Amino acid sequence: MGEVTITVVVKDMGDDPKMDSTTITIRPQRTSDFPVITVDVKKSLLSEDEEVGTLVAVVSAEQYRVGPVSFYLVSGNSEEEFDLNEQSGSLTVQNPLDYETNKEFNLLLEARDGGFPPFSSYAEVHINISDINDNYPVFNQSEYMCKVFENLPESLVCDVLAIDADSGSYGQVLYYITEGNLDEAFIIDINTGILRTAKSLDRETTANYNLTIEARDANDHRHTSTALVFICILDMNDHAPRFTQIFLTEIPEDAPVGYTIIQITAADEDVGVNALITYMLLSKEEELPFKIDKTKGTIVVAHSLDRETRDHYIVTVNANDSSWSVSTDVTIDISDANDNVPVFSEPTYSVTITETKAREVFVMKLAATDSDLGPNSQILYFIEPPSEVFLVNATTGDVLTKQHSLNAYIMLQVTAKDKGFPSFSTEAEIYFIVINENQHTPYFPETF
């Protein structure tokens, strides 16, 4: 059979097809003209830590045309792990092997004679790679951010994962908590890496945990790696509000509407919405002269006060955080303001006296009262305008004679004035009827 030439055309399927062509020439040869290749496999199973230079196989060939024969690695040696000596045919390990990269090799070997054109024969060698425990566990994250609610024992926190690239038992990973596990609060499944709470946690005691998790090679505990697990303990509304002090205050009775009396404060050891407190006044009375800001706890005057009507209040304040409710009593004392006018016991006094020439004789006692307290209720007495006949003790209100009067009727204007600031005063009138005293001896105006 003679030489055969074949033209091969390739064309795409587009609307405007593109094409290309090539020519293949086939020259038939006798089988006996090709080298006869033989492969003597020394090791078909290699450990991944096999030493460089290890002899794997010896390739040889017989040829009947033109010598010498050369040997080549045609395919299957992408990373140049192996070397085939061109003259000797020795197939050896050229670079370190890695089971995790290539578990087996199919090498195509060529024996080529020295003719022109050269004639070649081919053989295939299959080599398996065995694993050794040469890899460390590697976590899929260097840090884990986890959250779990307080008060829930044996709750799932998160799971960590470390992978050992080795195979079989060499790739088995064990997990341990090595640091940060205060009070043994957490446990980890040694085989799965699932992290759980070991007991009920209290966020108010410890709000965050920083754990170090170690992954160990089950067959070689020297092969380890670590990851950090940051655990945030989420709040549950497990604390009632707590008032911070005993609340006692005093305000003047003339405090205007809107006047801030006191701020009630309660603390809640929870956080966020669980610590939001609403304040409320509780009272069996129909209407208190106070109101409270629900969010700030500030008590203010809602209506005018009058100490003379009521001098103190005991107000019950409730603090509520939506789940818990507590109450406390707030004592509000009303202090006096000078808002009352002195009042005489009588608006008008009528007094009958006997005329006398003696001085500082007690005539009567003025009496006025003031509903206020302290200096606001202390009264001073005055005769206005001053009298030539009478005087008054400013403190006691005693009215005394000052000098003799020939008048049978006398009217005095008296004032009662408190010591407050500003002070208030009131007036009263005293009408005196002076009775003539029989103090003169009859006498004849002349001698008869």
Residues 44-94 have pLDDT tens digits of: 999 999 999 999 999 999 877 777 899 999 999 989 999 999 999 999 999
Give the contacts of 231 (CB within 8 A, at least 6 positions apart): 146, 147, 148, 157, 186, 208, 209, 210, 211
Residue 30 pLDDT: 66
Structure tokens at 97: 């092997």
Residue 258 pLDDT: 95
Task: Please say if the pLDDT value at position 285 is more than 80.
Answer: no
Rounded Cα distance, 49 and 100, in Å? 12
Residue 217 pLDDT: 95
Q: pLDDT class for 443, splitting at 50, 70, 90? A: low
Residue 438 pLDDT: 58
- Cβ atoms of 424 and 418 closer than 8 Å: yes
- Cβ atoms of 416 and 399 closer than 8 Å: no
Rounded Cα distance, 303 and 414, in Å? 37
Strands, sheet with 348-354, edge to edge from the N-terminal-most edge strand: 348-354, 425-435, 409-418, 379-383
Q: pLDDT class for 406, splitting at 50, 70, 90? A: confident
Task: Please say if the pLDDT value at position 358 is more than 90.
Answer: no
CA proximity to 266, closest of 293, 239, 242 = 242
Give the contacts of 53 (CB within 8 A, at least 6 positions apart): 92, 93
Q: pLDDT class for 35, splitting at 50, 70, 90? A: confident
Q: What is the pLDDT of residues 142-193, one digit of tens each?
A: 999 999 999 988 899 999 999 999 999 999 999 999 999 999 999 999 999 9
Structure tokens at 75: 């395919």
Structure tokens at 364: 């009567």
Task: Please say if the pLDDT value at position 442 is more than 80.
Answer: no
SS3 of the chain: CCCEEEEEEEECCCCCCCEEEEEEEECCCCHHHCCEEEEEECCCEEECCCCCCCEEEEEEEECCCCCCCEEEEEECCCCCCEEECCCCCEEEECCCCCCCCCCEEEEEEEEECCCCCCCEEEEEEEEEEECCCCCCCEECCCEEEEEEECCCCCCEEEECCEECCCCHHHHCEEEEEEECCHHHCEEECCCCCEEEECCCCCCCCCCEEEEEEEEEECCEEEEEEEEEEEEEEECCCCCCCEECCCEEEEEECCCCCCCEEEECCEECCCCHHHHCCEEEEECCCCCCCEEECCCCCEEEECCCCCCCCCCEEEEEEEEECCCCEEEEEEEEEEECCCCCCCEECCCEEEEEEECCCCCCCEEEECCEECCCCHHHHCEEEEECCCCCCEEECCCCCEEEECCCCCCCEEEEEEEEEECCCCCCEEEEEEEEEEECCCCCCCCCCCCC
CA proximity to 328, closest of 239, 261, 260, 241 = 241
For 375, list phi and psi in degrees, rounded to 5. -60, -25
Give the contacts of 30 (CB within 8 A, at least 6 positions apart): none
| Radius of gyration over every alpha carbon of the chain, rounded to an integer in angstroms | 59
Structure tokens at 156: 């799932």
Over the chain, what is the mean pLDDT?
91
Residue 40: is it exposed, middle or buried by C-beta count within 10 angstroms (0-12/13-18/19+)?
Answer: exposed
Residue 407 pLDDT: 83
Question: Averaging pLDDT over each range in 2-6, 114-118, 386-390, which range is the top one?
Answer: 386-390
pTM value? 0.60
Give the contacts of 16 (CB within 8 A, at least 6 positions apart): none
Residue 117 pLDDT: 82
Question: Averaging pLDDT over each range in 172-176, 301-305, 409-413, which range is the top one?
Answer: 172-176
Percentage with pLDDT > 70 across the chain: 95
Task: Please say if the pLDDT value at position 227 is more than 90.
Answer: yes
Residue 1 pLDDT: 59
